[in-house]
Amino acid sequence: MIDRTVASHVLRELARHQLRGRAVRLDELAGAVGVRREDVRAVVTRLHGEGHVDAKRMRLTMTGLALAVSMRSCKLPPVRMAPEALVAVA
């Protein structure tokens, strides 16, 4: 589940930078999403394989941009669970 949530946040963040005409580095993207750089790299690699991201240029493809724009008004779940939620699960 976290992987899908991270992917949604990555798509949205890439779109935000791309629409402003700004390139984004992997470490900036990880900081903006709030996960480790390795997690973002894995998600970008998967999204690249699915045809949504050009991983070499760190830019969305047309399908990736369409997905990100369609999520523009959605409230995305947080990437990490709140500490009190983790206690409730345990």
The confidence score (pLDDT) of residue 86 equals 36
Query: Is the pTM for the entire model greater than 0.95?
Result: no
The domain 2-89 is placed in CATH, from the list 1.20.120.1750, 1.25.40.10, 3.40.50.11290, 1.10.10.10, at: 1.10.10.10
pLDDT at 44 over 80: yes
Confidence class for position 77, pLDDT limits 50, 70, 90: low
**Domain segments of the chain: what residues?**
2-89
Q: If you average pLDDT over residues 39-62, what whole number do you get?
A: 95
The confidence score (pLDDT) of residue 4 equals 85
Q: Are 46 and 6 in contact (CB under 8 A)?
A: no
Instruction: Give dist(CA 42, CA 37) in Å, integer.
Output: 9
Instruction: Give dist(CA 5, CA 74) in Å, integer.
Output: 12
Instruction: Give dist(CA 83, CA 65) in Å, integer.
Output: 33
